[in-house]
Chain A
Amino acid sequence: MFKRNARQDLIFFLVFSAFVLSMPVLLAPIGAGYPDLLQKFAIYGLFAIGFNILFGLTGYLSFGHAAFLGVGSYAAVWMFKLLTMNVIPAIVFAVIISGLFALAIGYVSLKRSGIYFSILTLAFAEMSYKLAYSVLTPLTNGETGLQVKLRASGPVTDLINQDVRVLDAAMGIEENGIPAPSLFGLEITGWQAFYLCAVMLIAGFYIAMRINRSSFGMMLRAIKSNQNRLNYTGVYPRPYLLAAFTISGMYAGLAGALLAVTDPLAGAERMQWTASGEVVLMTILGGAGTLLGPFLGAAVIKYFENIFSAINENSLHAVLSFLPDPVENALVSVLSMFVGEGWHLTLGLLFMLIVIFLPGGLIEGFNRLIGLFTRSRKQTTGENREEA
């Protein structure tokens, strides 16, 4: 790791940025060249990169990260409603709020480790989810979800259904109908939204890379490999853990804010623990502890979710029509279990296979493939894993 020099990192980072920015062109041939899907790649990529700072580096498995995503979404929509449709305050506010939220939850949860930590985070996330539906409806609007509404003309009595947008009003911005989020006058929809997310992703990736290469990142990895030994050397690991937890919560908040920017509607279902499970899936699938892995996992899952759930029995029949009828029908009835509505089955199977056979995720798979072709004895597999 110390052999790696700054120039290699810079090249790696530049290649990554170039790839992300040119995704609309590069991924068009595989049917992913449209903003709705690509911005999901970027948003969930950010979410997973942040989650990886906690799970990948320290080994602490949180099952409650979706709560921070949800809090970020709510915070961003509230900024849209109260202050301005400009995305900058929304994003900043969402990151701060979810960071504070993560700080509080992390402070309590990190008193325990192992499975107890997982259960504690799960408990906190479920509490937030349940509260968002019940007591906190004045803040979250319950099952309907929090939405951007028309600006109130008269006195405001009901903040959920009447927006104020103080800043916009002060600056004299006219609104016709419900406005879209904007960046200093530029409307953030379609491709603009993707590029906003892409820039955020690149920034997030850069920060994650810096953390990874820093002594702080080293400390986090030390916690993962042997916390006892760290204690014996006189290091108190909890502040480092709390910092990692808060940072990953802020990433989740940023992802939540971007979700709210691309679609100004926040609902509590984003906070459910299955959503937390999804980000775990993404990170593991790509490769926990690697830099590129989480983004890769998020992109792969979102891509296949999109492709697989679009396939139905008719399209299967169309593809397999060259086969004899009985074979075709049998094959279709089997395959239809795995596509469309049944896409989660494919996901579950894929995930199991990865955990069983490829604990290092897709990145490890690539490295093994590369290792097959370029057999240089000097490079150990451990070194290879660092490459990513």
Chain B
Amino acid sequence: MDAILLQVLNGLDKGGAYALIALGLTLAFGTLGIVNFAHGALFMLGAFCAVALNKLLTLEKVTLDPTQKTPWGAPLEIRTPYVEAWLGDFGKFLVDWSVPISILVVVPVMLLIGIAMERGLIRHFYKRPHADQILVTFGLAIVLQEIVKHFFGANPIPVPAPAIFAGSADVGALFGLPPNTIVYPWWRLIYFLFALVVIGIVFAFLQLTTFGMVVRAGMRDRETVGLLGINIERRFTIVFGIAAIVAGLAGAMYTPVLPPNYHIGMDFLVLSFVVVVVGGMGSLGGAVLAGFLLGILQSFASMNEVKAIIPGIDQIIIYLVAVVILLTRPRGLMGRKGVMED
């Protein structure tokens, strides 16, 4: 029982990341009909927004203290981040909470990047075949990740979570199990909740606002909405921006779980595409469901008991599931009729 619960928990944070990326991919696909291979790069850019903010906040002033000596006899260097020197305790708080604070940076930055991407590049590819869309966004992904590599180097850059969340939560106690049977890092729990909140906001936005209603109508029948005198193109541009924000947020909050490097986006992209296809192209609910499902499946497959029966299953389970689903249920779990049927 506790082992199963632990694996479910283990799958939740990764599943959350898959679900968020897949949600953005599906949004872009469902509205603009674009197959965006650069979506993983947006995830990566979000992560590096968090990294950049953290670097900025921890820029240090070095002062030499002649009264103290290091063991080598040189004067002791005292490093204090500028923010701490200027703002005192509040500065300390800023540095500590840099990852959650980066959300404030990520939202406008990613919105801009997303809109610029749609206006500047993707707009010209609506009428081109899907293969061309895949290729040009694949090229864009390479360009984006090489730019990041140029500025941040090739090594993963660790970014700490706030100190409060550093430890692990005794989740087992909540379910009436003896203490310390299921311990789980706080931050990963937070990430799962965060993913749920973001997904909730996106769905609420689409279901409860007029804007969302128009967008949903446009996803169903773009032409009719256009004939009603609504500028659906502009709304879809904003939806693309939202998709970029979702990917960026997923990336920024994921930094304490997995130190990002420049190709983290590509690693997630492949899996997220599989998630989208399993969930059903163009189905938002399917993307979220498949994201969590595959995340949890993956963590089950990496249990030693399972690996003992089928060796190597943890490495390939996601792809295997994708192959089976694609061959048995061509529309994916919750795919709509008439979307990408060819």
Contacts and interface: CB of A to CB of B under 8 A. Distances in A.
A272 B62 CA distance: 44
A349 interface: yes
B330 A112 contact: yes
Contacts of A113: 342
B138 A112 contact: no
Contact of A348 (B139, B311, B316, B319): B139
Interface string B12-28: 00000000000000000
B340 interface: yes
Interface string B130-156: 111011101111110011011000000
B121 to A, nearest CB: 8
A131 interface: yes
A179 interface: no
Given A61-B131, A115-B134, A131 B315 contact: yes
Contacts of B134: 61, 115, 118
A108 B150 contact: no
Contacts of A114: 130, 340, 342
B273 A119 contact: yes
Contacts of A126: 270, 316, 319
B56 interface: no
Given A119-B274, A126-B319, A355-B136, A59 B330 contact: no
Interface string B142-185: 11001101100000000000000000000000000000000000
Contacts of B139: 348-349, 351-352, 355
Nearest to B312: A135
Given A133-B315, A134-B311, A273-B270, A348 B142 contact: yes
Interface in B225-279: 266, 270, 273-274, 277
B327 A131 contact: no
Contacts of B337: none
B335 to A, nearest CB: 11
Given A115-B130, A119-B274, A124 B319 contact: yes
Interface in B311-326: 311-312, 315-316, 319-320, 322-323, 326
Most chain B CB atoms below 10 A, which of A127, A345, A355, A359: A355
A59 B323 contact: no
B124 interface: yes
Query: Quick one: which of A341, A342, A352 has the most chain B CB within 10 A?
Result: A352
A212 B312 CA distance: 41
A277 interface: yes
A274 B266 contact: yes
B127 to A, nearest CB: 12
Contacts of B132: 355, 359
Contacts of B342: 113-114
B35 interface: yes
Interface in B93-107: none
Interface in A111-157: 111-116, 118-120, 122-124, 126-127, 130-131, 133-136
A133 B319 CA distance: 16
A284 B319 CA distance: 27
A120 B321 CA distance: 11
Interface string A100-118: 0000000010011111101
A1 interface: no
B150 A112 contact: no
Interface residues of A, number: 41
A280 interface: yes
A355 B270 contact: no
B39 to A, nearest CB: 14
A351 B312 contact: no
B273 A131 contact: no
Interface string A280-300: 100010000000000000000
Given A116-B277, A119-B274, A274-B266, A344 B323 contact: no
A274 B141 CA distance: 12
Given A112-B330, A123-B274, A347 B142 contact: yes
A345 B143 contact: yes
Query: Which residue, of B130, B140, B266, B342, has the highest number of chain A Cβ atoms within 10 A?
Result: B342
A345 B281 CA distance: 31
Contact of A119 (B136, B142, B277): B277
A332 interface: no
Interface in A59-116: 59, 61, 108, 111-116
A71 to B, nearest CB: 16
Nearest to B269: A273
Nearest to A343: B146
Interface string A324-344: 000000000000010001101
Contacts of B149: 341-342
A280 B142 contact: no
Contacts of A345: 142-143, 146-147, 150
Contacts of A111: 327
A112 B326 contact: yes
A359 B139 CA distance: 13
A127 B319 contact: yes
Residue from B131, B132, B281, B340 with most neighbouring chain A CB atoms (10 Å): B131
Nearest to B281: A115
A108 B316 CA distance: 17
Given A114-B340, A119-B322, A127-B320, A351 B35 contact: no
Given A123-B323, A135-B312, 17 more contacts: A59-B129, A59-B131, A108-B323, A111-B327, A112-B330, A114-B130, A114-B340, A115-B130, A122-B270, A123-B322, A124-B323, A273-B270, A277-B138, A348-B140, A348-B142, A352-B121, A352-B140
18 contacts: A59-B131, A112-B326, A114-B342, A115-B277, A118-B134, A119-B274, A120-B323, A127-B315, A131-B315, A133-B315, A274-B266, A277-B138, A342-B150, A352-B139, A355-B135, A355-B139, A356-B121, A356-B136
Closest 5 pairs between A and B when the two form their complex, measured CB to CB: A348-B142, A135-B312, A345-B146, A130-B315, A352-B139
